[in-house]
Amino acid sequence: MPDAPAFKSAIDYAALGDRLHAYRIGAALQAEDVAAQLGISRAAVYRMEKGEIVKIDTLERVAELLGTSLASLLGVEVEYYANALGFFERMRQLERSADNIFAHFEPVSLLLASDDYPELLRGMLLEVTARRAGGALTEDEANAIIGVIADRRATFRERRPQVVGLIGMHGLERFLQMGMVGRVRLSEAVRRQRLAAARREIGRLADLMASELLNVRIGLIDDAMPASTFEFFSGPSGKAVAVSPFRLGELPNVRNGIATVTSAPEAIRRYEHLIARLWKSAYKGAAGAAHLHKLLGRL
């Protein structure tokens, strides 16, 4: 009798490992924490995150520990992320394998912002904490978020995928009026500095539009934009869309909201249609840069 064909699992264990790692980061658990609570070795946790085959009953226990579902770990339904750190780690994974990224960001793209932006963002996140009794974000948490953002930016610069950015003009105007601030009550001197920083970021966007880099295209939308930002990823491993309630412009929010990631065909189709419609009506290239300079002059 001829040999039976080798069985090929329908489960993408590498992607499963990525999701498991992102959920663990979001739960603020070390590998040894997961190992101790599941009664397995730390090496076994690392093997799971590297994409080695794992038993279903172990996955069920991991999902319960990390506060998610087995279906979400397997990638057969929507992934939900209740904090920014886990979500940003998942974005890093998706950006790492994407050839094309379509993004609605408002007002600043983490991938395209200046080298000064991450440290300014860190200060803004700590300002958000300072305005709340007891603090909502520790310095270690802020540093962890900035660390993941730095990794995402480094990966983007190394791989140079094609990026199409969609930005709402109304969001940019609000950003320029508020400045890069984590809270409203700041000294006048600090406020002037943060307004100037916001202007530099918008000036950088104008320069990127005018230069028309081969791998970066930006479109300005003079219309109401979705309340949540999103990134659409396309690459050899397929397509996915990530929708985020977290804000990284003025008065940033990295604490409240539920971000989602999905590869569901209906979601992919609808976002492809939305992106095509927004891009068609956008100001691009030199015309878009002129609009930004006009906005800077007016404000």
Domains detected in the chain: 11-76 (1.10.260.40), 78-298 (3.30.870.10)
CB 243 within 8 A of CB 104: no
pLDDT of the residue at 176 = 94
pTM of the model: 0.82
pLDDT of the residue at 237 = 85
| C-alpha separations of 120 from 51, 112, 146, 181, 215 in Å | 36, 15, 10, 9, 26
pLDDT of the residue at 242 = 97
What are the backbone angles phi and psi of residue 224, rounded to the nearest 5°? -65, 135
For the chain, which residues score pLDDT lower than 50? 1, 7
What are the backbone angles phi and psi of residue 171, rounded to the nearest 5°? -65, -40
As beta bridge partners, residue 102 has 164, 232
pLDDT of the residue at 139 = 87
pLDDT of the residue at 3 = 57
